[in-house]
């Protein structure tokens, strides 16, 4: 059996209930992780600390690492990678719910495809309960398709990804770029020779909300996205034409009313 780590980062705004559901979904897998590395990104609430203590007493494979101040997702995950013992690492967010066979299917794929450095899958977005699925975030499958797809959109669903730590480190690890840490990592991995893949099925329930679409909009978000597109051009991943096209379409999507943006995400960008 392949040994593998699960990497999570949590901060004080997380719901203890959602966090509990996420941990249960990790620990009730058909293929159990060898270790769970939990980064506490700054001081947590007493309720969240109680959840951690409760689970650590029952599951000694959970190791928590404290960061004195909130560092942000990218920096927290980089610190977590240092503590991951195994080369195969599964990412998980602390408010999502993994399907019971997620790890089994991804580990089996990674074992049988040593040429693949990162493998993700589709995810089902829900509000309040996994019984209330509002959309499915599908992505292309093969490395060749994802190389092209990544020039316009994020090629992997980060909350459902499993990767080889060695390939991530070789590409420079997570780098601080708020909102785009994962996308930037996948692009650097591609340009470093890594091959990406998406299993063509949903393996994770992704917690969504009306507020999420609000957070994905606004002038600040739009300007950050333009900076990211300029960076992708500077490192040679996209042409200047692709950069301008991406900037134009994304700027419009970020400044339109929240309700319309939510419609675009659910009906056009996702299935």
Residue pLDDT, tens place only, 190-215: 999 999 999 999 999 999 876 665 55
The pLDDT value given to residue 77: 96
Whether residue 226 sits in one domain with residue 126: no
H or E element in which residue 48 lies = helix 46-58
pLDDT digits (tens, 9 = 90+) for 45-94: 999 999 999 999 999 999 999 999 999 999 999 999 999 999 999 999 99
pLDDT at 257 over 90: no
Confidence band, pLDDT 50/70/90 cuts, at residue 267: low
- Residue 25 neighbours by CB under 8 Å, 6+ apart: 96, 97, 98, 99, 100
User: What is the token pair recorded at 85?
Assistant: 């013992």
Whether residue 226 sits in one domain with residue 142: no
Q: Which domain holds residue 127?
A: 4-208
Number of domains in the chain: 2
In terms of DSSP bridges, do strands 4-10 and 133-137 run parallel, antiparallel, or are they unpaired?
A: unpaired
- Secondary structure letter of residue 160 according to DSSP: G
pLDDT digits (tens, 9 = 90+) for 151-201: 999 999 999 999 999 999 999 999 988 889 999 999 999 999 999 999 999
Question: 166 and 84 in contact (C-beta within 8 Å)?
Answer: no
Distances 51 to 24, 29, 138, 204, 207 between C-alpha atoms, Å: 11, 19, 32, 22, 19
- CA dihedral sign of residues 22, 224, 120, 170: negative
User: What is the token pair recorded at 43?
Assistant: 């001081």
Whether residue 257 sits in one domain with residue 152: no
Q: What percent of the chain has pLDDT over 70?
A: 90
User: What is the token pair recorded at 5?
Assistant: 């780590």
The pLDDT value given to residue 249: 85
Question: 216 and 208 in contact (C-beta within 8 Å)?
Answer: no
Whether residue 256 sits in one domain with residue 202: no
């Amino acid at each position: 059996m392949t040994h593998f780590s699960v990497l999570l980062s949590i901060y004080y705004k997380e719901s203890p209930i959602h966090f509990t559901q996420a941990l249960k979904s990790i620990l009730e897998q058909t293929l159990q992780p060898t270790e769970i590395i939990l980064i506490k990104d700054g001081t947590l609430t007493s309720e969240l600390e109680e959840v951690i203590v409760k689970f650590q007493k029952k599951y000694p494979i959970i190791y928590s690492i404290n960061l004195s101040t909130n560092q942000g997702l990218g920096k927290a995950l980089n610190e977590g990678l240092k503590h991951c013992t195994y080369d195969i690492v599964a990412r998980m967010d602390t408010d999502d719910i993994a399907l019971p066979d997620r790890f089994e299917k991804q580990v089996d794929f990674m074992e049988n495809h040593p040429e693949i450095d990162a493998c993700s899958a589709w995810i089902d977005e829900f509000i309040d309960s996994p019984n209330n699925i509002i959309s499915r975030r599908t992505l292309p499958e093969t490395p060749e398709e994802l190389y092209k797809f990544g020039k316009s959109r994020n090629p992997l669903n980060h909350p459902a990804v499993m990767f080889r730590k060695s390939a991530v480190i070789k590409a420079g690890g997570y780098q601080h770029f708020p909102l785009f840490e994962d996308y930037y990592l996948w692009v650097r991995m591609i340009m470093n020779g890594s091959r990406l893949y998406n299993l063509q099925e949903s393996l994770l329930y992704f917690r969504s909300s009306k507020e999420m679409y609000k957070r994905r909009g606004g002038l600040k978000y739009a300007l950050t996205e333009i900076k990211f597109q300029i960076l992708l051009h500077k490192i040679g991943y996209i042409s200047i034409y692709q950069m301008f096209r991406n900037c134009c379409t994304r700027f419009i999507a970020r400044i339109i009313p929240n309700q319309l943006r939510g419609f675009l995400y659910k009906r056009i960008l996702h299935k």
